[in-house]
Structure 1
């Protein structure tokens, strides 16, 4: 296994650093899985944990980056170890020394399928951003009012279908190729796409499904939900 990952340019390394920093803002003690078997690096992070033996409710973020040379790697690392290294990198550096420390992350054992992925419509990125912001406000209010007991509210908010959560904003659903009624896109996926910086104003997000998994493909990355 390689000790150093070489990305294609300094901008790609900085992008990885920003992504890891956003994920760390969601969980200061969180982890990142770096996985490659060739010249594409898959960087996975856990956003919402699942429950039960099927890990229902799991929400993962995925950012892919091009590598300058093929490598074989599959490690789970503390987010802090990665952000420390990217923060210290020079403006022209393309190398990420792989931290020796490993992390334990239950979500890393939940592997989404490689495919086939079936197209299931589109959603406006502005809708997902609005659902995420509204959900964050609702969760924040619950934390202020209920403290540690707000966990139930948090779970309920992020389990909603985005179309239900968009109730106060029906105009955001007009004219879009919406996903069919039998495909649930949970608000937790909108939260992940928004919090990880995957959304762009005015852009469309593709929805795909494979067995029990739903994937959102946005301009800045992917969100996978089970």
Structure 2
């Protein structure tokens, strides 16, 4: 199953003002390592956006998005907030692999990681979901989310022929992951919640909407999604 998102490999220097991130405890750092490992299971070359403000860093990761303006693939992003022991102001997009390399040595750095020296241009990182105006619509149980995700993965696998071209992959992804499900949310959101490990909670998710966006949230994180631009 192909859910790869585009990442422009043009590299740029990280802003010199980017101070190291010092996590409140090692558990926070290990949670980040787990999240990035899951993201790389979707796309080994994936990027991650780190937005630190004060004592919290918002970690944004891509699940899927359109590669061209003509594609109808929905946008699905994962976000998790982690606590820092020292205030920081950072907004950079870097390679997930580079962050994982630094997290592997965090036991020796006192819970601190340096920001990778180069950034990448990932088109999805320029998509900014609303920060306010969300309206709670209800609750979605974890079993329903898993069923939607598993059914979608099976449908994608069955729909793709051997050695499919890019156009075929895009069409299949748009049709299956863009299908409206519970609360009129695209099914790709359930896939994101499952593959990122946010659906391991038995409590399920609270569901919110704001314009074309849906957000499902629990203590593990948030999945934000919207339909493809041409849908």
Fold similarity call, TM over 0.5? yes
Provide TM-score, normalisation by structure 2.
Answer: 0.82
SS of 2:104 mapped into structure 1? helix
User: Displacement, 1:154?
Assistant: 2.1
Partner of 1:32: 48
SS of 1:67 mapped into structure 2? strand
Partner of 2:170: 151
Q: Conserved in 2, the CA contact under 8 Å of 1:10 and 1:94?
A: yes
Partner of 1:206: 206
2:102 to 85, 88, 94: 85
Q: Conserved in 1, the CA contact under 8 Å of 2:64 and 2:73?
A: no
Q: Which moved more, 1:186-195 or 1:215-224?
A: 215-224
Q: Report whether the alignment pairs 1:120 with 2:127.
A: no
Question: CA separation of 1:88/1:137 partners in 2, compared to 1, >3 Å: closer, same or farther?
Answer: farther
Taking only aligned residues, the RMSD between alpha carbons, in angstroms, comes to 2.2
Provide TM-score, normalisation by structure 1.
Answer: 0.84
2:121 to 81, 99, 104: 104
SS of 1:186 mapped into structure 2? coil
Partner of 1:67: 84
Q: Report whether the alignment pairs 1:187 with 2:187.
A: yes
Find the aligned partners of 2:157 and 2:98 in 1 and give their Cα distance.
29
Q: Structure 2 stretches of 5 or more lacking a match?
A: 1-16, 227-231
Find the aligned partners of 1:219 and 1:195 in 2 and give their Cα distance.
16
User: Displacement, 1:202?
Assistant: 2.9
User: Displacement, 1:145?
Assistant: 4.4
Partner of 1:129: 146
Q: Conserved in 1, the CA contact under 8 Å of 2:74 and 2:174?
A: no
Partner of 2:19: 3
Structure 1 runs, 4 residues or longer, greater than 4 Å off: none
User: Displacement, 1:146?
Assistant: 6.0
Q: Conserved in 2, the CA contact under 8 Å of 1:142 and 1:150?
A: no
